[in-house]
Amino acid sequence: MLLTTVKADGKTEYELLAQLEARSGEVDKRVTAAVTDILTAVRERGDEAVREFTARFDGIDAPVRAIEREELAELAKACDSNIYAALTRVAENIRDFHARQLQQSWMTTKEDGTILGQRIRGLERVGIYVPGGTAAYPSSVLMNAIPARIAGVKEIVMVTPPPKSGGFNPDVMAAAYIAGVDRVFLCGGAQGVAALAYGTETVPKVDKIVGPGNIFVATAKRLTYGVVDIDMIAGPSEILILADDTANPAYLAADLMSQAEHDMLASSILITTSERVAKETAEELERQIESLSRKQIIEKSLVDYGAAIVCRSMEEAVEFANRLAPEHLEVMCEDPMSYIGRLDNAGSVFLGQYAPEPLGDYYAGPNHVLPTGATARFFSPLSVDSFVKKSSFIYYKREALQAACEDIVTLANAEGLDAHAHAVAVRFE
């Protein structure tokens, strides 16, 4: 059987959870050391170092160059018309959803003339990392660039490895054009992240780096955090399906495999109150997997990190779901809407039998860049908020400051900061 079935007893299911939390493994010290060397070289030698690493890792020895909007438009024309039309429709859904997240600056005035407020504006420049080759996903370009554009980011640049074949991925180029990317720079890997973080003669320094990548890209993002902001350090993909006796096992099996095909480390968990549903889902997996092209990856993922957990009640199932805090959480229950207020920890929640996870990956509009590895307990999906910065402002009249003087001086002196106290008191001596 591809899917191990266990009965919840307050212990077994949490042993499984511990196994899932450990699946990403420790940080590879050799990768960290190699990436550190790349970052240092690019910071010190700019384009020259980027070119050297691109020749070494991508097999292309060419100057770093930019693709401007005009050339991007031409490259987008090579995209299949049906794919281009689909990308355009999806982009509209993403824009519609994320436009509702936009916050406004605000200001309030008190009776004594005090003015307080908050100014919200988009970041100056954001960099999007896009993998090359088979891992190039145009949907991710849309999901990363469109919220940034809505947030008011002044310039969106993208880095991607130069194509070894000499031809560009037309779907990625079309997505970049549709999403409003300003310039694309042909450099990938850790050196591409370094170029964005530190800037080179050709690649401008950005304020934030977003987008998926391999372990070298993820490590480079982690090591440059603080020099720039980043979206998150994404771990292996994961799905948890909450199902009662009304769920369709054929749908459950298909949805579990939709995540398992991402990666051998991906986690696909079914949690249900029905032994029958667990058994029939396992049988459906055996049947459906035979027709799928990524069968070997799915099998490895399900055997190592998949499971069906039979709980004693839906309350117990919900408690476990909140503890697991999955990236994707499907609710395949009789009344899925009744669970919205009870499921507190999940990147994105899919309600009902006609809201499969790929609907969120490709079409509906909510962002598919989601927290993994139980970080949904404290992290949120990528959003317009990810691309804005906020600053507060304060205006006090003399009389208002005088009324606050005693309290400020008292607290400043209590903290041993008498220069703070003096900076207020001197105005009334």
What amino acid positions are annotated as catalytic residues?
A: 327-328
DSSP 364: S
Region of residue 268 (phi > 0: left; psi between -120 and 50: alpha; otherwise: beta): beta
E-assigned strand segments in 66-178: 66-67, 106-109, 115-122, 125-129, 155-160
Q: Is 14 exposed, middle or buried (0-12, 13-18, 19+ CB in 10 A)?
A: middle
- Sequence-ordered alpha helix ranges (H) in 208-356: 215-224, 249-260, 275-288, 295-305, 314-324
The CA–CA distances, whole Å, from 139 to 329, 355, 365 equal: 20, 18, 11
Give strand pairing partners of 240: 269, 329
DSSP 205: P
CB 147 within 8 A of CB 367: yes
CB 143 within 8 A of CB 428: no
